[in-house]
Chain A
Amino acid sequence: MKQSRLALWVFLAPVLMWLLLLIVLPHLDLLTMSLRGENDYGDMVWTFQNYMNFFTEPIYWLTFVRTALYAIITTGITLLLALPVSFYIAKLARTRSQGALMILLLLPFWVSELVRIYGWMILLRESGVLNFFMLKLGIIDTPIEMLYNDATMIMGLVYTSMLFMIVPLVSVMESLDDSLIEAAHDLGAGQLTIWRTIIIPHCKPGITSGAIVVFMLALGNYLTPNLMGGKNSLWFTEQIYNQFIASFNWNQGSAFGFLLLLLSSLIIWVGLKVSRQKLGEVAS
């Protein structure tokens, strides 16, 4: 018995250090920092001013709402695109080619996000590859700037987070018994009915975990909005970056950071409640 207590502490000590020093304390620090500010005499005091600034300055909360909405749109588009792809891999592709298809799907996502975004930039920009071909083929007369607008930015976000939707979807679809679909088909159910009453309900756990991860990645993304959305991207993480690095107003930046953390936790919590799942289940 004495030995097992020793083992417990050997395992517990590093884990406690990690979680307390690197996760709990920094976020408490973030919270306290966001509640501090200078008063009229230049002294540091406790204040709600940083949060007040957020609500009184439209540019801040509009960016916040915009970021959240676009993250939701991104999640929706990703889901719509991922459903048929994972269905194809799990149920339609020949069993022999399944593994190869899966590897092909995974490969681009092992490559740094920056490289993927850079690839899109040289494809889409005014002097880019796509414009070159369209000019050559006579589809357009003058090059079009396809970067730096909201649609491209959302496409970039969908592209970078696709994988996290497809992997859970493929695994739940593989666990779906084919005979259920066959039975429905024999009884005369159409495609839509089969999707609505059998496939989607069965995939719900996969959809939840995929949607949560994609949403969170889109919300916290900095690279894609910054490089593909350009100056108009108005992404909330950029506001945080600006407060921290450009204006050096750490208190204001902390308040923004804390609000973003609250929003992402809230939406994840709602997602879990609606689908009646636990975070632990989703993670594994």
Chain B
Amino acid sequence: MIRSLPRSKTYNWSFNLFIILYFTFLFAPLLVTCVLAFNNSNFPSLPWQGFSLDWFLADGPERIGLFHDEQNLRSIVTSFQTAVCVSILSVVVGTCASFLFEQEEFRFKGVLYFLMLAPLVIPGVILGISLLLAANTAGTFFDETFGLDFDLFRPSFWLVVIGQFSFITTFVTLVVSARLRKFDRSLEEAALNLGATRFQVIWHITLNFLRPAIAGAGAVAFLMSFENFNTTLFLVGSDPTLPINLYLQVRDGSTPVINAVSLMLIVGTSLLALVNLYFTKKEE
């Protein structure tokens, strides 16, 4: 029943069949989406009307391809900006958190560690509404006490960044902490003995050691931010991110432009994931 034990032919065959079926189940929707992006038809469905790049390149008036579709292009740019901001912020704070939990001792460390894990078990929708409420409360407070009006407290680009940051940082912290745990602290002690300050040690030695984990965590943060829907839904203002924009289009009926966007997303994320995987493998 395992590699080293004799197995019957039927057992082997049925197991292989099961795995093939499973992978078909896994890839069928993605494959169909990609293929239909090239169908020369006004609807994302069969029959096959011939190969066409219209849904990428056409510029009207009947068909507007992805590269001429203002709305979709703008949402892609917004998603990129959001993801860049979120990954930078969460990597910085997440790395601080890993140092805090792995190398420092203080009171209430257990409580704080528990709080750090909390975003893992808070559903994204709840996080979204809580932050919306808090932002609203803060906005009202500043308006009433100081007469100040901040855009930050209204559903907007920055509120989305803050919302995604608040849970993605937890994932960054977990990834970086795992690496930091493997760090040989005698290296640090050696540097301290030779007269380096704590921050010199961290900058020259520990951060160098952590670099692959930080890069990996940054990539994960980027992807998570790029495709987040649940939290973003409640915080988004007048400039929607790509998932929100796609959702509105899918809900109100669909054109093959969505397939074209999906294809780009599938190719893009696969590449990023593979690069990330390649580097983690190389590190090992």
Complexed CA–CA distance, A29 and B115 (Å) = 16
**Given contact pairs A15-B97, A108-B27, A26 touches B133 in the complex (Cβ within 8 A):** yes
* B229 neighbours in A (Cβ, 8 Å): 112-114, 222-223
Q: Are B262 and A182 in contact (CB under 8 A)?
A: no
Q: By the criterion of a CB under 8 Å from any partner CB, how many residues of chain A are at the interface?
A: 90
The segment from B42-50, B59-67, B146-154, B210-218 that touches chain A is: B42-50
Interface string of A162-194 (1 = CB under 8 A from B): 100000000000000010011001000001001
Seen from chain B, the residues whose Cβ lies within 8 Å of a Cβ on chain A are 1-5, 15, 18-19, 22-23, 25-30, 32-33, 36, 43-47, 92-93, 96-97, 99-100, 104, 106, 112-127, 129-134, 137, 162, 165-166, 169, 174, 177-178, 197-199, 202, 223, 226-227, 229-230, 233-234, 242-243, 246-247, 250-251, 254, 258-259, 262, 265-266, 269-270, 272-274, 277
Chain B, Cβ-Cβ closest to A267: B121
Chain A, Cβ-Cβ closest to B244: A114
Q: Are B33 and A222 in contact (CB under 8 A)?
A: no
Seen from chain A, the residues whose Cβ lies within 8 Å of a Cβ on chain B are 3-4, 6-8, 10-12, 14-16, 18-19, 22-27, 29-30, 33, 81, 84-85, 88, 91-92, 94, 103-108, 110-123, 127-129, 132-133, 159, 162, 178, 181-182, 185, 191, 194, 212-213, 216, 219-223, 226-227, 237, 240-241, 244-245, 250, 253-254, 257, 260-261, 264-265, 268, 279-280, 283-284
Q: Are A185 and B106 in contact (CB under 8 A)?
A: no
Q: Are B129 and A122 in contact (CB under 8 A)?
A: no
Shortest C-beta distance, B41 to chain A (Å), equals 11
Shortest C-beta distance, B128 to chain A (Å), equals 9
* B133 neighbours in A (Cβ, 8 Å): 26, 29-30, 33, 250, 254
Looking at chain A's contact residues, is the secondary structure mostly helix, strand, loop, or mixed?
helix
Q: Are A23 and B115 in contact (CB under 8 A)?
A: yes
Complexed CA–CA distance, A92 and B13 (Å) = 12
Q: Are A279 and B117 in contact (CB under 8 A)?
A: yes
